[in-house]
Structure 1
Amino acid sequence: MSSFFVANTSLNCKFAFQIFKEMVNFNGTLISDNEVQLSTKNRAFKYGDAIFETIKVTNGKVVFIEDHYFRLMASMRMLRMKIPMKFTLEFLQEEILKLTRELPSSSIYRVRLTVYRKDGGLYTPVTNEVDYIIEGAPLEVIKKEVYKIDIYKDFYNYSGLLSTVKTTNRMLNTLAAVFAEENDLDNCILLNERKGVVEAINGNLFIIKGNVVKTPALTEGCIKGIIRKKVIEIIEKHPKYTIEETTISPFEIQKADEVFITNAIIGVQSVTNYRKKEFVTEITDKIKSSLQLAIVTG
């Protein structure tokens, strides 16, 4: 029997992390976070000329490190950043673990690796060489029984290949998050210029209707999510369900049986409410269990 049907023991939950006075890994050197000095010429600050990976570390294991690594390398190439010779998978994994070993004790950490072009230049950089900083903090699981979402319509997430890259230009996500907080929502759905569904504020979106699972295609402008990829692989292996990477209209969300959001930290987050619609979580719970098994055995 497929692992898709492993009994579910997880709860609908939302991850949060407490900020500690902590160490960061700044270009390979561990220093206190309040000792980091970035100049006014920093290109991540001035132009959003940076990319990042948000990574989960569980029991000393960097979860899905290969997928994060290859996505980072592809993003750096796309943005014409010079990849240092030392940037091997093994090197970056050890740099992450070197930091987490110095953080307050926890079985789970949230880690962010940011890579940015070195200082200097206006729109045109003076160099394509990069610096990097790795931040981390222990994670705390908070039970979330009800998870409400709605559409964010004020601005669009324009479709195209550049939108699939995790750059530090997250103004749209920030504005949508403010909107969600003001309206007592847990998340919002972002739309593209064709008013098609793109993703949630902090992750990819999936809808389930009958035996068909749909998620926006990369051509819609969504992030090329690591957990998105893993969930697609899980569903592709199951004979009963079909996965479609396609265009999704907001109307289809209203008609769906189930809706869930994925990202590297929460894994799979069930959605229970969209406007007046309430969703069940039966298939989503099975996908959660299969994903957890993939994390443990992968």
Structure 2
Amino acid sequence: MKDKYCILNGHLISIYEPAVAFSNRAFRYGDSLFETIRLCNNRIMFLRDHILRLRLGMTVLRMNVPAEFNYENVNELIIQLLKHNSHAPNARIRLTIFRNEGGYYTPESNDISFLIESEELDQVYTLNSKGLWMDIYGDTKKPINKLANIKSGNALLFVLAGLAKQSMKLDDCFIINELGNVCESISANVFVVKNGTLYTAPLSEGCVAGIMRKQIMNLATENKILTFESPITMNTLMNGDEVFLTSSIKGVEWVGQFKQKFYTNHMAQLFIEKLNKLTH
């Protein structure tokens, strides 16, 4: 079996080599951030936006942002990793940032380390043939604070939602915020279509500042589709013509059913087509 690699702090190592210590702060405290990035048709999609979101997250967590942690260097390292792993033309890339070890809850240093991993995928953005069956995960509400918009290593809320999804035999669950509104799904942002107009929760509702969310809003503007950032309530979902999810890896997934409500997927199909044009 051919060896596979990851990159730790700029150095290529085997995935079978120990990469982090037991005292690693991501392991102990979830003191970390991550990005999941898509390679599509040999193109690293929206990397500048991913790097910007990481740097903003590092600022929120008061981590030191090294000058060399920039688009050019990260892009070069990802290309190197994909080449060594023979992961092309489609792949999933995970970039994890964690504060260096030392201290308990209070860190001894704000310097960071980073890890890049890759996993081969077999296709470009492809719309799901069968609509997702979804319901609400309401046992734990997502708080609205400055941590809500970043992708941190503390994902217990989403783990619990994933377990609820399994027990209810659903495809995904809507996450609700402390106000009782839908802010996202387990791993995606949520869009609702009503009479040709697009609605999605604003960042002030506590959703992750999704990279694909941003791209869909840009594509909507380019295609003269009216878009509003407004709270998504149960009534919004029940009165919508379409509901779809957006994420960096899958692009767009359409929801087929929420409770007794069924949806179409016309706009979801449009956005998948527009996204795939960006891969050329």
Class of the TM-score when normalised by the shorter of the 2 chains = over 0.9
| Stretch moving more, 96-105 or 81-90 | 96-105
> Which residues of 2 match residues 279-298 of structure 1 at below 5 A?
279-296=263-280
Q: Is contact 2:33–2:98 with CA below 8 Å preserved after alignment?
A: yes
Instruction: Say if 1:122 and 1:197 are closer, same or farther in 2 by CA, change over 3 A.
Output: same
Which among 224, 235, 256 is matched to residue 209 of structure 2? Answer: 224
Q: 2:180, 2:158 → 1: CA distance?
A: 16
* Percent sequence identity over aligned pairs: 33
With over 3 angstroms needed to count, the CA separation of the structure-2 counterparts of 1:226 and 1:153, relative to structure 1, is same
The CA distance in 1 between the partners of 2:231 and 2:207, in whole Å, is 11
Residue 84 of structure 1: CA displacement?
A: 1.3
**TM superposition shift of 1:147:** 1.5
- Offset of residue 105 of structure 1: 4.3
| Number of matched pairs | 276
Cα distance between partner residues in 2 of 1:191 and 1:21: 42
Q: Paired residue for 1:188, among 173, 178, 181?
A: 173
State the match for 1:176 in structure 2: 161
Q: Is the 8 A contact 1:117 1:131 kept in 2?
A: yes
Work out which of the residue numbers 260, 274, 284 in structure 1 matches 2:244: 260
Kept after mapping to 2: 8 A contact 1:112/1:136: yes
After TM superposition, the score normalised by the length of structure 1 is 0.88
State the partner residue of 1:14.
none
**1:175-196 CA-partner distances (Å, limit 9, x unpaired):** 1111112222111000001101
Match of residue 200, structure 2, among 189, 197, 215: 215
Residue type matched to 2:152 in 1? T
* Structure 1 residue 211: Cα displacement: 2.3
Q: Which amino acid aligns with 1:201?
A: I
Match of 2:7 among 25, 34, 37: 25
1:58 matched to 2:40? The reply is yes
CA distance in 1: counterparts of 2:270 and 2:41, whole angstroms: 23
Q: Choose which of 252, 256, 260 in structure 2 pairs with 1:272.
A: 256
Q: Is the 8 A contact 2:245 2:252 kept in 1?
A: yes
Q: 1:89 to 1:276 in 2, by over 3 A?
A: same
Q: Could you tell me which amino acid in structure 2 is paired with residue 110 of structure 1?
A: R
With the length of structure 2 as denominator, give the TM-score of the two structures.
0.94
Residue ranges of structure 2 left out of the alignment (5+ in a row): none
- 1:201 matched to 2:183? The reply is no
Cα distance in structure 1, aligned partners of 2:79 and 2:222: 32
- Structure 1 residue 72, shift from structure 2 partner: 1.2
Offset at residue 144 of structure 1 (A)? 4.2
Partner of 1:249: 233
Residue identity matched to 2:139 = D
Which 5+ residue runs of structure 1 have no aligned equivalent?
1-19
* CA-CA distance at 1:21 after TM superposition: 6.2
Question: Separation in 2 of the partners of 1:144 and 1:129?
Answer: 45
Is residue 236 from structure 1 mapped to residue 214 from structure 2 by the alignment? no
Q: 1:75 offset after TM fit, Å? A: 1.2
What CA distance in whole angstroms lies between the structure 1 residues aligned with 2:21 and 2:11?
18
What whole-Å deviation, never above 9, does each CA across 1:163-215 have from its counterpart, x for those lacking one?
00000101111111111122221110000011011101011000011122110
Higher normalized contact order (CA 8 Å, seq sep 6+, divided by chain length): 1
Cα deviation per residue 1:49-105 (whole Å; 9 max; x = unaligned)?
100110011243211111111111111112111111211210011111111111144
CA shift, 1:292, in A, is 2.0
- SS of 1:136's partner is strand
* Secondary structure at the counterpart of residue 252 of structure 1: helix
2:130 to 138, 145, 151: 145
Which residue of the partner structure matches residue 13 of structure 1? none
* CA-based RMSD: 1.6
- Deviation of 1:275 (Å): 1.6
CA–CA separation in structure 2 for the residues paired with 1:34 and 1:158: 37
| Corresponding letter in the other structure for 2:107 | P
